[in-house]
Amino acid sequence: MYQYNEIDQKLVDERADQFRRQTERFLSGELTADEFRHLRLRNGLYIQTHAPMLRIAGPYGLLNSKQIRKLAHIARTYDKGYCHFTTRQNIQFNWPKLEQVPDILDELASVQMHAIQTSGNCMRNTTTDHLAGVCVDEIEDPRPYCEIIRQWTTLHPEFDYLPRKFKIAVSGAIHDRAATQLHDIGVHIVKNDAGETGFRILAGGGLGRTPVIGQVIRPFLEKKYLLSYLEAILRIYNLYGRRDNKYKARIKILVKETGVEEFTRQVEAEWQLTKDTLILTDERINEVKQYFTPPPYDADAAQDETFAKHLAENSAFATWYKINTADHKIPGHRAVFLSLKAPDVPPGDMTESQLDAVADLADRYNFGEICVTHRQNLVFAHIKQAELYPLWQALTQLKLATPNINTVTDIICCPGLDFCSLANAGSIGVAREINEVLDDMDYIHDIGELKINMSGCMNGCAHQSVGHIGILGVDKKGVEWYQITLGGSSENDAAIGERLGPSVAKNEIAKAITDILDVYVKQRQEEESFLDMVKRVGIEPFKDKVYANH
């Protein structure tokens, strides 16, 4: 993974120093609350319901064991002993004290981490595929380009005060696991007819109140133009994006109101004027690629015979293997998911002791690497088959081996009303209720791949509009209600879910979900996934069942 050089380290150190001075100026009254808001947001600091929330960048999700131990230390020392992993591969602390945040940033800088541009109307953390570098359907590893984009976006002098937040995602595989069609800019690594690798560029996607699927504005971009093209898009957005209404300020609205053809024409015209002034050289690309070379895999990993024996003898291990591991491009290896969705734990949360233990396991089995997934789990990407069994045993002890990856209990969930000042409704409690009624693992595995996303408000941090089942908390005269959507997807077949009907009361939401699952189990055709069935039959059969008694 990428290692800071002197420049990277200096920038992060100086940023932490700057934030310390800014905090002091705020506390002494020199900065108004509104002035400080702009500055603290650009360092990931929100003022929340109970306490500030600090969001730390997980650059394209990739962390090392030293960094995970530092998160454990921060959780112990400055927070209440846990942290939360987000859908954009970041890390959140919900209980830091404002006066201590500069100290936390110093701690982070000491392990090459920061909270720069994790919130505010600026370019955010670039995200990617959590299986980058190991998946079997990869065209090229996207992470070197993510790192190049990370550096280019960090403290960009022209684009730090955009109309609204701005998110870039990169995918290097056939299967889009990074929700690139739902980002302000989506970058796909593709091959053209001549066999050259380059980028397909999408713009104008986004979630939140007005979910929109991004559109291709350039089918093929030579690698050397990556940054100049991004710059052109950002300049057009910075100049013409709406600033009169924050709900209409994202680039998706600009693309929609301008029309994608005209928007593309503007970007291309701007780019023609600058394309040769900001060339990404092969030399630079190769320099960054050196940080993402494969670890020293065991060439004989597939020769091991213990794995097959454990698989045959231990059904719990076999189930976990089937559900929580993924194919790997190197024979005899698997990518292993650590489920942060144990039934009685808020989705995406980890305790300090789990963090420390995971760091040790990463050192022992995974070359010290940990990747955060878009669905709020972790991945060990380089596990040889002989070590799957001992790793599974260790993860089981840590309650990180719930075999539910991509199943109905692998719920994406925002912090909701329990923590967030924006939320209209609770989400963690509802996730727990759904878990309580879905306690039969065989039933869960029979249902198969089904993604539930639940947000506590319209801002949609948990991407409910692209959940196969989406749940959105709404406030009705001070009471929490939930709207259900079906048929959303954030992958290659990206779609915005369709609303099932009137919102349901909090005490009926778990029942509504089980009703929906019952309809699926009874009416599915052989091997048909939930999403495929919704596409085939529409929402009516589900609607009839959920609202049968209303």
Partner 1 sequence: MQIIKDKQLIENTWTYHADDSELGNGNITISVARLKQQGSGLTQHNGRLGVRIEPDDDITGVVEYLPALSLIELYFPQMADGRLFSYAWLLRNRHGYTGELRATGNFLPDQAFYLSRVGVNAFNPDNIASLPAMLTGLNDFSVKYQPSVY
The helix/strand/coil state of 377 is: coil
**Encoding tokens for residue 334?**
């698997």
Q: Does 86 bind partner 1 (CB under 8 A)?
A: no
What are all long-range contacts of 242-250, with beta carbons under 8 Å and residues at least 24 apart? 242/163, 243/163, 246/164, 247/209, 247/210, 249/121, 249/163, 249/164, 250/163, 250/164, 250/165, 250/184, 250/206, 250/208, 250/210
Q: Which stretch binds partner 1 (CB under 8 A): 155-163, 254-262, 357-365, 537-545?
A: 155-163
Give the C-alpha separation, 305 to 424, whole Å: 53
The percent helix, strand, coil of the chain (3-state, each to 5) is 40, 20, 40
Give the position of tokens 């100086």.
14
Residue 136 neighbours by CB distance under 10 Å: 14
Q: Which stretch binds partner 1 (CB under 8 A): 35-43, 315-323, 394-402, 534-542?
A: 35-43
Q: Which stretch binds partner 1 (CB under 8 A): 152-160, 197-205, 319-327, 429-437?
A: 152-160
Q: Does 156 bind partner 1 (CB under 8 A)?
A: yes
Going by C-beta distance under 8 Å and a sequence separation of 6 or more, which residues neighbour residue 140?
A: 172, 189, 197
Q: Does 265 bind partner 1 (CB under 8 A)?
A: no
Q: How far is the CB of 238 from partner 1 (least distance, A)?
A: 5
Q: How far is the CB of 19 from partner 1 (least distance, A)?
A: 10
Q: Does 154 bind partner 1 (CB under 8 A)?
A: yes
Q: How far is the CB of 113 from partner 1 (least distance, A)?
A: 17
Q: Which stretch binds partner 1 (CB under 8 A): 72-80, 235-243, 325-333, 428-436?
A: 235-243
Closest CA to 139 of 329, 406, 332: 329
Q: Does 33 bind partner 1 (CB under 8 A)?
A: no
Q: What is the dihedral of CA 153, 159, 161, 163, to 10 degrees?
A: -110
**Encoding tokens for residue 282?**
């092969």
Q: Which stretch binds partner 1 (CB under 8 A): 17-25, 48-56, 71-79, 96-104?
A: 17-25
Applying CB under 8 A, which of residues 174, 273, 437, 479 lies at the interface with partner 1? 273
Sign of CA dihedral 16, 21, 26, 30: negative
Give the C-alpha separation, 418 to 434, whole Å: 17
CB 187 within 8 A of CB 225: no
14 or 327: CB nearest partner 1: 14
Q: Does 285 bind partner 1 (CB under 8 A)?
A: no
The helix/strand/coil state of 383 is: strand
Applying CB under 8 A, which of residues 77, 238, 514, 529 lies at the interface with partner 1? 238
The DSSP result for 224-240, as a single string, is: GGHHHHHHHHHHHHHHH
Q: Does 106 bind partner 1 (CB under 8 A)?
A: no
Q: Does 158 bind partner 1 (CB under 8 A)?
A: yes
Applying CB under 8 A, which of residues 22, 119, 324, 339 lies at the interface with partner 1? 22
Q: How far is the CB of 422 from partner 1 (least distance, A)?
A: 19
Q: How far is CA 403 from the centre of its chain?
A: 20
19 or 321: CB nearest partner 1: 19
66 or 156: CB nearest partner 1: 156
Q: Which stretch binds partner 1 (CB under 8 A): 47-55, 237-245, 369-377, 461-469?
A: 237-245
Q: How far is the CB of 166 from partner 1 (least distance, A)?
A: 11
Give the position of tokens 């940054």.
227
Sign of CA dihedral 245, 248, 250, 256: negative
Partnered with residue 45 across adjacent β-strands are: 54
Kindly give the pairing relationship between strand 479-486 and strand 504-505: antiparallel
35 or 99: CB nearest partner 1: 35
Give the position of tokens 């942290």.
83
Restricting to residues 427-466, name those near partner 1 by CB under 8 A.
none
Q: Which stretch binds partner 1 (CB under 8 A): 32-40, 66-74, 171-179, 361-369?
A: 32-40
Applying CB under 8 A, which of residues 86, 87, 126, 151 lies at the interface with partner 1? 151
Applying CB under 8 A, which of residues 27, 97, 192, 239 lies at the interface with partner 1? 239
Q: Does 287 bind partner 1 (CB under 8 A)?
A: no
Q: Which stretch binds partner 1 (CB under 8 A): 109-117, 158-166, 212-220, 386-394?
A: 158-166
Give the C-alpha separation, 90 to 471, whole Å: 22
Q: How far is the CB of 167 from partner 1 (least distance, A)?
A: 17
DSSP state of 90: -
Applying CB under 8 A, which of residues 11, 111, 216, 537 lies at the interface with partner 1? 11
- The helix (run of H) or strand (run of E) holding residue 326 is strand 325-326
Helices (H), 133-281: 143-153, 226-240, 251-258, 260-274
Residue 5 neighbours by CB distance under 10 Å: 8
76 or 243: CB nearest partner 1: 243
The helix/strand/coil state of 354 is: helix
22 or 385: CB nearest partner 1: 22
Going by C-beta distance under 8 Å and a sequence separation of 6 or more, which residues neighbour residue 70?
A: 107, 108, 110, 111, 113
Q: How many residues bind partner 1 (CB under 8 A)?
A: 32
Q: Does 114 bind partner 1 (CB under 8 A)?
A: no
Q: Does 308 bind partner 1 (CB under 8 A)?
A: no
Applying CB under 8 A, which of residues 121, 373, 404, 407 lies at the interface with partner 1? 121
**Encoding tokens for residue 1?**
């993974």
Applying CB under 8 A, which of residues 10, 50, 97, 476 lies at the interface with partner 1? 10
Q: Which amino acid is at 333?
A: H
Residues that bind partner 1 (CB under 8 A): 7, 10-11, 14-15, 18, 22, 25, 31, 35, 38-39, 121, 151-152, 154-163, 235, 238-239, 243, 273, 277-278
